Structure 1
Amino acid sequence: MSTDATHEGAPGRRRGRARLDLRRLGRAALGGSGARGRLPDAIDHVAKVHRGHHPGADLDILRRAYLLAESSHRGQTRKSGEPYITHPLAVTLILAELGAETTTLTASLLHDTVEDTEVTLEQVRGQFGEEVRFLVDGVTKLEKVDYGAAAEPETFRKMLVATGNDVRVMSIKLADRLHNMRTLGVMRPEKQVRIAKVTRDVLIPLAERLGVQALKTELEDLVFAILHPDEYARTRELVTGHAAGLATLGTTAERVQAVLREAGIAADVLVKQRHFVSVHRVRLKRGEVTGSDLGRLLVLVAEDADCYAVLGELHTCFTPFISEFKDFIATPKFNLYQSLHTAVAGPGGEPAQVLIRTHQMHKVAEAGVVALGNPYATPETPDATDGERVDPTRPGWLSRLLEWQRATPDPDTFWTSLRDELALDREITVFRADGGTIGLPAGASCVDAAYAQHGDGGHSCIGARVNGRLATLSTVLRDGDTLQLLMSRDSASGPSPDWLEHARTPAARIAIERWLASHPAGEPAPPVPLSPGRPCPPPRATAPAARWPVAVTADGADLAAASVRLAGCCTPVPPDEVTGFAVRGGAVTVHRAQCPAVHRMVASGREPVGVRWSSPEGGGARDYRVTLRAESFSRPHLLADLTEAIAAEGAAVISAAVEPPHEQRVRHTYTLQLPDAAQLPELMRAMRRVPGVYDVERAGRPVATAPL
C-alpha cells in the first residue's frame, strides 16, 4: 500500500481511497476500451501502481486481459448496480498496491471469466499461457461460496487444495474477499453477519498466516464494524478524541530522526497508526487508551545490520522499556515477518512502541507471500511451470493443513481442525538439541513437538529431555526451551489414547486419532524383536530355590546351624554390604546395610547380628534371587523387550508386575533369579539399554504376583 510521508496506514484512509478508485474504474469501464493498442483508461491507474513496484513490467498482457474480461462480463452488473468489470478491476488494484507480479494481476483480471462467462480455460491458456491458466483454474475451483453451514467445510477444503498448488491463488481470493467486504452494505443484514463470521474465522487467520497484514488489518476493521457495531463506534470515538496523541508520536519521530541523522544512519521514521481493532485490543488489555496507543514508530533502513545500529542508538539516547524488546529478525515469525520491536520513553514519559526493519522486510510484512512474486520461477527458467510444483516459500503450517485435508475425509472434522489451527497463537520457539528450531503455539506439549518435528513419525516418541532433564510427554514447553525427543527403534510403536489429553495442535490430534482408529483397543500385537531374525524368547522356567551362602557370626566366630532368611524389603545379594537381626524361632534375617528397615530397627533398640557372605560349598556358584524395578516411558512391546534383555543375560523371571501408566511413565518390577550374583551389574545395564527405559534400580520389596 502507498504511504504518507508522516503517517502510515491510517484507518479509513485506504477505504476512502478505494471508493474513489472504484468510482474512477467504473467510469472508465463505462467509457469504453480505448483505441486499439493503447492502454485502456480503466486500467491506467492499475498500470501506474504496478510500474511503481515493477518498473520494467510488460503492460501489454494486462491490456489484453482487461479487454477479454471487459468484453466477457459486458452486460453483467453487481448488486450495487455497477458494471461487473469493476470487481475484477478493484481486486487487481488491491494486488497491484501490494506489489504482486504481472502474472498474478493478469489472472486476477480474469479470475471470474471462466466461472461466470463463456470463456474457457483453453482460451486462457492460448492467449495468456499455462501459468495464468493454472491460477485462473485454481480460483475457479473454489466456486461461488455458499455460506450455509453445511457448505463451509467443503468450500474451504477446496480453497486449501488450490492454495497448496500455488499461494498466489489464495492471494487473489483474499483480495477478492476484501473487495466484497468493502461493498457488503448492499447485502441483507443477516447475510452480512454470516459472511463476516466466515471472514473472521477463516479468511483473516489465513491472511495473517500468509503474512498479508495490509489485507488482514482492513478485513478485521470491516468485520469489527459489522459484528460489533457499538464497540466499533466507541473505538472510532476514542481514536478521534485522542488525535492529538499522534502529534506527540510525531514529535518523538522527529527526535528519533535527528538522533539517527547525527549517528550517520540513513533511515525513514514514520508514524504507523494502529487500525481500529488493534486500538480496541489495547483498550481491553489496559482498560484505557492514551494518545501513544494510537500508533507506533516505524523505522525503515537499508540493511539488516542497520536495524541493530538503530536499536543501539535508541537504547542509548532514550530510556528503553527492555521488557518490550523482541527480535523477530534473528527468529522470524511463522508467516515470514521480520522486525525488531522495542519501546522508548516519549516526551511525557509514556512508552512509544518502535518497529525497526529494512525496506524489504516492510514490504514482506505488509504484503507477505504476495511480495515474493512467482515462487516457482528460477533465474534459468523464469516461467517454468512443468514438473513437480514445490513451493520453497510455503509456510510449514500450510503444508500441515494440506496433509490434514488428505487425511481427514470427513468435511466437518476437517473444518473443526482448520478453525482450531487458525485460532492458535504461535508464540514460542523451541530449540532442538540436534540443531534447528520448532515453532509451536503457546501451551504446546512435548507430544505436539514430536508431531511437529517428525510428522507421523511422532508415533515412535517414547519420552523427552527438556533443558537436559527427563520429562514426560505431557510437559508444557516454554519459549526458548531446548528439547531432545527420545524415539523408539520399534517401528510398531504408537501413541496411547491419553496422548490426546496433552495434544494442543490439530496436527498431533489428527495423527493420534488416525493411528488409534487403525489400532483398535485390545487388538493383539505381535512381538517385535529388537534385531532382525531374533524372536522374543518365552520366559525361562523358574530355577529351584537354593540355600543362600550367608554366614552368621558372633564375637568373630561363625555360628553353624543358624537359619538365615534374606529380607524381602531389599533382597540383598553378594557383594552387597549386609547386616542381620534375630527374629522369632532363632532365625536371622539379612538386610542390605543401606535398607531403611535397618535404620528403623537400630533406632528402636534392636541389636544387629554380624553376618557376611561365605563361599558356596564345593566352590560352585549358586542361584541368587533379586528384585529390580525398571522406570520407563510407556510404549508397546516394552514388556517383551525387557523380558528378552533379561533372558539374554541368563536370568530367570520369577515374577513380574506392571503398574498402570501415569503421565506416560510406567514401572515394571521383576523378581529375578541369577546363576551368579556377579552378573547383576551387567544385567541392570542391559535393561537400561532397552529403548524407553531410563532407570533400573534395586526394588524395595519383591512383587506379590504369581510366577510367570
Structure 2
Amino acid sequence: MPAAPRRKGRPRIDLRRLGRAALLGPAARDRLPDAIGHVVEAHRAHHPDADLEPLRRAYLLAESSHRGQMRKSGEPYITHPLAVTLILAELGAETTTLTASLLHDTVEDTDVTLDQVGAEFGEEVRYLVDGVTKLEKVDYGAAAEPETFRKMLLATGNDVRVMSIKLADRLHNMRTLGVMRREKQVRIAQVTRDVLIPLAERLGVQVLKTELEDLVFAVLHPEEYERTRELIAENAARPDDPLAATADRVRAVLREAGIAAEVLIRPRHFLSVHRVSRKRGRLRGTDFGRLLVLVAEDADCYAVLGELHTCLTPVVSEFKDFIATPKFNLYQSLHTAVVLPAEETDDRAGDSPDRQIVEVLIRTHQMHKVAEAGVIALGNPYAAPAEEQNAADGERTDPTRPGWLNRLLKWQEAAPDTDTFWSSLREDLAQDREITVFRRDGGTLTLPEGATCVDAAYAQYGEDAHACLGARVNGRLVTLGMVLRDGDTVQLLMGQDAASAPSREWLEHAHTPAARLAIQRWLAAHPAPEETDRTPGTLPSPPLFRPTAVNPARRPAPPEGESPARANAVTDLPGAAVRLAGCCTPVPPDEVTGFAVRGGAVTVHRVECAAVARMKSAGRAEVGVRWGDTTECRVTLVAESFGRPHLLADLTEAIALQGISIVSATVAPPAQQRVRHTYTLQLPDAARLPAVMRAMREVPGVYDVRRAQARAADA
C-alpha cells in the first residue's frame, strides 16, 4: 500500500511512545496520565477551562480494560482510542465527546458494560458509546455492517456526536490499513468512499473528509495516486511559486487598504490535484493550491473581495457567495478567482498563450473553524438555548439535525430489508448537492440536486403524495417528472379521492429513496393484473364506481335501458376485488365483461375492447359483471392535437371548467408536429362525459378526442 499522505502543519504523534506510556500502568490518583498529555494539550487549546477529570477516569478505564490486547500492527490496543481522541481534540471537540471516544471500543471489545459506562460517566457518554458500538456478526451475519450503520444513523439523529466519533475512528483505521490483507483494504476503502466520506461532507468535517479521500485514493487507485504524488513533488521543487508571489501581492494590497487579514496558501490535497489534472490536462503552479484570506468580520470579507477585483481581473463565472447562502453543511466563504498578469505567470517561455488563474477563498476565522471541523466545531451543540432552534416547516435550522439527516431517517424506516437500506443509503449519500424550492404556501423544501416534482410531493406530503395529480412550477403547469432547480416555486396539485394511486412510471422520475420506497411499497401492496389485461406502461384504476362480479344464474334483470353484461357458466366470485382495465376504462352505461386475474380480483373491460377478444380466443373464462348504483366513474381520454405553446395548460383549463378532476395527465413526445395527450379523469356522473369531450375538442389545435382503447395489434 502506498505511503499515507501527510497533511501540512499537523505533526504525527508517535503511537509507539503512547503505547509504552500506556503500558507503564495507571498514574497516581488525581494525576493526569502521561499517555493523554497530547490529548489534554490539544483540548486545552480549544477549551482552556475544561474539566479534565472525566478524561483521566475514562483513560484509566480504557487502559485497564484493553490491557493485553494488541492491534494487528503490534501496538497496544489503547493506542487506537488515544489516536481517535487526539483527532477529535485537535478539531475542538468538547469533553463529553472525548470521554466517549476514549471508551468507544470498551463495550465492543472488553468486559465493560454500557450500564457501567453510564454509572461512571453519565447518560450522554453512555449514549455515544452505545451509538458507535458495532452489532455482532454472530447475531446479524452478513447484515451486521449495514445494520450497524443504520443503528449509528439513528443514534446520530438524536446526537450528532456519535458520527463524529465514528468518522475519527475510521480515519485512524484508514491510516493504519496497510497491515490488512489487500482484499480487506479494498472492502474497507470502498465503504469509506461510499458512506463515511459523504457523511463527513454532510457534517462539514472537511479535515477528516479530505484525508479520508486521499487514503481511499491510495488504496483503490495506487497507480494514479503515485503519479499524483510525483506531480506534487515536482511542483514543490520548482524555484518560482506563483501562488507565493500572488499571496505577497494580496497582502500588500490589503495592508494598503487598511484591512487586517491573514493570507495563506492552501495546498490542494492529493485527490483534488488528481481531479484538476484530469479536468485541465497539464497543471501549472497555481493549480496546486488556492489562496485563503482570513479576516475578523463578515463585512471584511466583502471588503477583501472588492480590493481583489480592483487590483486583479476577476473570473466572473467563478464567484460564489456562500456567506449570504451557506451550504447545507454549515460551510460559509466567498469564492472567487483572478487572472494573473502575464509577468507573474510561469508561462513566460511562451509554451502556452493562456494566463494562470488563482482561486481565492475569503472567510472569517470563525467560518474557517467551522469549514474545517463542521459540527465538531460547535462544541456541545445541545447546550444552545431552546429558543435558538427553529422548527419551521419541519426543516430545522439546527445544524445537529440538518434536512438531509431528517430525510434519511424518514426513508430508512420504509426500507423493507437490509439490502434495500444499504443500497439506498449509498445512493442517497452519492447526491452531494442540495437545492431549495419554495412552496406556494410560503414554506420551503430542501431536496437533493436532480429531484423532480414527484420527489417534492413525497417530501411534502409523505405517503399522501399518492394522490398527487400534477404540479405548477413558477406558475406553469408541468409534468410530475420535471427536474426542479434551486429557487423554483412549486405548487403541488392534490386529488381529493382517497383511491388515487401512483403510476408505475413515477418510479422513473423519483430521484430520492423516500419517494421510490413509498411508490414501491404501494405497488407491492396493490399488484397489477396480468400484463395481458392492460396496456403496457399503465396501472389499473382503483374501483371508483364499483362494478360487481355476479353469478349469471343469480344476476337480476338489468334496469330498463341498460345493456346486460355478457357472461358464460362460471364460478360465483362473491367479494372479489374489482378493477377497471386501463386499456379501455369502461364507464356506465358501457356494456362490460370481466376476467379473473392473479390475486382473486376481477378486471372489467368494455366488451368491444380488443383485449377481450384475444383473451376469449385464448380460452379465458368471462366473469359476469354489472354496474352498481353509483354513477361516479373514472375514464381515460386521448386528445390528438397539433403542437403549439401552452396547449397542455389550455386543455387542462378546459377540463377544469367542466368541474372534472384530473387524476393523471401525460404528453407523448411530438411526432411530425402532432402531439398526443392522455388524461385520466374522475367524473361525478358518467352522463357528463360527452360534454367534457366536446369542451376538449373546442380547444384550438385539438382535432380529435376519444376514449382510450387498446388497438388489436397492441392486445
**Under a length normalisation based on structure 1, what TM-score does the superposition of the two structures give?**
0.72
Choose from 170, 173, 176 the match for 1:177.
Answer: 170
2:355 aligned with 1:355: no
Q: Choose the corresponding residue for 1:247, options 236, 241, 244.
A: 241
1:38 and 1:250 map into 2 onto residues whose CA distance is 46
Correspondence for 1:313? 307
Distance 1:381 1:107 in 2: 28
C-alpha deviation, 1:356, in angstroms: 1.3
**SS in structure 2 at match of 1:242:** helix
Amino acid corresponding to residue 367 of structure 1 in structure 2: A
Identity %: 70
| 1:132-161 per-position Cα deviation (integer Å, ceiling 9, x unaligned) | 111111112555899996544333222322
Aligned-partner residue type, residue 84 of structure 1: Y
Post-superposition offset of 1:217? 0.7
SS at match of 2:224: helix
> How far, CA to CA, are the matches of 1:704 and 1:180 in structure 2?
65
CA 1:17–1:303: 2 relative to 1, 3 Å = closer
Q: CA deviation digits over 1:305-340, x for unaligned, max 9?
A: 222222222112211001111122222222222211
Distance, in Å, in 1 between the alignment partners of 2:44 and 2:138 is 33
What is residue 422 of structure 1 aligned with on the other side?
A: 429
Q: CA RMSD in A?
A: 4.2
Are 2:542 and 1:525 aligned?
yes
Distance 1:152 1:138, change over 3 A: closer
| Cα distance change of structure 1 residues 541 and 292 upon mapping to structure 2, 3 Å threshold | farther
- Deviation of 1:660 after TM superposition, in Å, equals 7.3
Take 2:443 and 2:59, find their aligned partners in 1: how far apart are those partners?
Answer: 47
Residues 374-453 of structure 1 mapped to structure 2, 5 A cutoff? 374-379=380-385, 393-426=400-433, 428-435=435-442, 437-453=444-460
Which residue of 672, 679, 683 corresponds with 1:667?
679
CA offsets per residue over residues 184-235 of structure 1, 9 Å max, x none? 1111222112211111111111111121111111111111111111111100
Structure 1 window deviating more from structure 2 (513-522 vs 268-277): it is: 513-522
Secondary structure, counterpart of 1:13 in structure 2: coil
Contact in 2 for aligned 1:629/1:668 (Cα 8 Å): no
Displacement, 1:516?
2.2
Q: Does 29-38 or 209-218 show the bigger shift?
A: 29-38
Partner of 2:624: none
For structure 2, the 5+ residue unaligned runs are 346-354, 389-395, 530-539, 547-558, 562-636, 641-646, 670-675, 710-715
Offset of residue 492 of structure 1: 4.2
Query: In the alignment, is residue 208 of structure 1 matched against residue 225 of structure 2?
Result: no
Q: What's the secondary structure of 2:361's corresponding residue?
A: strand
The reply on whether 1:276 has 2:270 as its aligned counterpart is: yes
Matched, 1:285 2:292: no
Count of equivalent residues: 571
CA distance in 2 between partners of 1:144 and 1:89 (Å): 26
Could you say what secondary structure the match of 1:338 adopts? coil
CA contact (8 A) 1:426 1:439 kept: no
The residue aligned with 1:343 is 337
Match of 2:323 among 310, 325, 329: 329
Q: Distance in 2 between matches of 1:405 and 1:669?
A: 34
Deviation at 1:526, TM superposition (A): 5.1
TM superposition shift of 1:49: 0.6
Alpha-carbon distance in structure 1 between the residues aligned to 2:485 and 2:386: 44
Shift in Å at residue 420 of structure 1?
0.8
Residues 68, 84 of structure 1: alpha-carbon distance in 2 compared, 3 angstrom cutoff: same
CA contact 1:445–1:473 (8 Å) conserved in 2: yes
Deviations 1:513-560 (A, max 9, x none): 12222333357635499xxxxxxxxxx999xxxxxxxxxxxxxxxxxx
> Distance between the aligned counterparts of 1:139 and 1:81, measured in 2?
24
The alpha-carbon deviation at position 479 of structure 1 amounts to 4.0
The separation in 2 between residues aligned to 1:501 and 1:323, in whole angstroms, is 33
- The one-letter code matched in structure 1 to 2:317 is S
1:606-617 matches, within 5 Å, as: none
Paired residues of 1:628 and 1:671 also in contact (CA < 8 A): no
Question: Residues 238-260 of structure 1, C-alpha deviation per residue, up to 9 Å, x if partnerless?
Answer: 00111248832122122222222
Return the alpha-carbon distance in structure 2 between the equivalents of residues 541 and 62 of structure 1: 89
State the SS of the aligned residue for 2:13: helix
Provide, for residues 17-67 of structure 1, a one-character-per-residue CA deviation record: whole Å limited to 9, x for no partner.
Answer: 564342342232233333321111111111111111111111111111111
Residue in structure 2 matched with residue 262 of structure 1 by the alignment: 256
Aligned mates of 1:44, 1:406 — CA distance in 2 = 43
2:122 paired with 1:115 = no
Letter in 1 for 2:679: R
SS in 2 for 1:37: coil
Cα-to-partner distance string for 1:548-585 (whole Å, 9 max, x where unaligned): xxxxxxxxxxxxxxxxxxxxxxxxxxxxxxxxxxxxxx
Q: Is the contact between residue 438 and residue 487 of structure 2 (CA under 8 Å) also seen in structure 1?
A: yes
TM-score by length of 2: 0.71
SS in 1 for 2:245: helix
Cα deviations by residue, 1:79-113 (Å, 9 ceiling, x for unpaired): 11111111100000000011111100000001111
Out of 211, 214, 225, the position equivalent to 1:221 is: 214
CA contact (8 A) 2:193 2:213 kept: yes
1:368 maps to amino acid = G
- Displacement of 1:122 in angstroms is 1.9
Q: How far did 1:15 drift?
A: 8.7
User: 2:43 maps to what in 1?
Assistant: 50
- Find out whether 1:137 has 2:144 as its counterpart: no
- Please tell me whether the aligned partners of residues 461 and 488 of structure 1 are also in contact (alpha carbons under 8 angstroms): yes
**Aligned-pair distance for 1:506?**
1.9
Q: Alpha carbons of 1:59 and 1:474: their partners in 2 closer, same or farther (altered >3 Å)?
A: same
> Per-residue CA shift, 1:445-488, capped at 9, x if unaligned?
22223333443343333222233322111122334444333333
Greater displacement, 189-198 / 276-285? 189-198
CA distance in 1 between partners of 2:70 and 2:9 (Å): 22
In the TM superposition, what whole-angstrom CA distance separates every residue of 1:576-634 from its partner, at most 9, and x where no partner exists? Answer: xxxxxxxxxxxxxxxxxxxxxxxxxxxxxxxxxxxxxxxxxxxxxxxxxxx9989889x
Q: Distance in 2 between matches of 1:146 and 1:297?
A: 51
Q: Which residue of 2 aligns with 1:84?
A: 77
Deviation of 1:417 (Å): 0.6
Distance 1:59 1:100 in 2: 13
Per-residue deviation, residues 346-374 of structure 1 (Å, max 9, x unmatched): 33241111111122221121111212233
1:628–1:697: 8 Å Cα contact kept in structure 2? no
State how far apart, in whole Å, the 1-side matches of 2:447 and 2:137 are: 34
In the alignment, the residues of structure 2 paired with residue 19 and residue 264 of structure 1 have an alpha-carbon distance, to the nearest angstrom, of 38
Pair 1:495 & 2:502 matched: yes
Structure 1 residues 256 and 520: CA distance shift in structure 2, 3 A: same
**2: distance between equivalents of 1:365 and 1:114?**
33
Partner of 1:510: 517
Structure with higher Rg: it is 1
Structure 2 equivalent of residue 573 of structure 1: none
Moved more, 269-278 or 489-498: 489-498
- Determine the structure 2 residue equivalent to 1:59: 52
1:436/1:269 CA distance change after superposition, 3 Å: farther
Q: SS at the partner of 2:190?
A: helix
Q: Structure 1 residues 431 and 309, CA, compared in 2 at 3 Å: closer, same or farther?
A: farther
- Which residue identity lines up with residue 228 of structure 1 in the other structure? H
Alpha-carbon spacing, 1:122–1:645, altered in 2? closer, same or farther (3 Å): same
Report the counterpart of residue 373 of structure 1 in structure 2.
Answer: 379
Deviation at 1:705, TM superposition (A): 9.4
Counterparts of 1:659 and 1:102 in 2: how far apart (Å)?
A: 58
Matched, 1:69 2:62: yes
8 Å contact from structure 1 (residues 146, 152) kept in 2: no
Q: Judge which range, 436-445 or 502-511, deviates more.
A: 436-445
Query: How far apart are 1:174 and its partner, in Å?
Result: 0.9
Q: Distance in 2 between matches of 1:92 and 1:443?
A: 38
For the 8 Å contact 1:461–1:487, the answer to whether it is kept is yes
Kindly indicate whether the alpha-carbon contact (under 8 Å) linking 1:446 and 1:473 is maintained by their aligned counterparts in 2: yes
> Kindly tell me: are residues 118 and 671 of structure 1, through their superposed partners in 2, closer, same or farther at Cα, counting changes over 3 Å?
closer
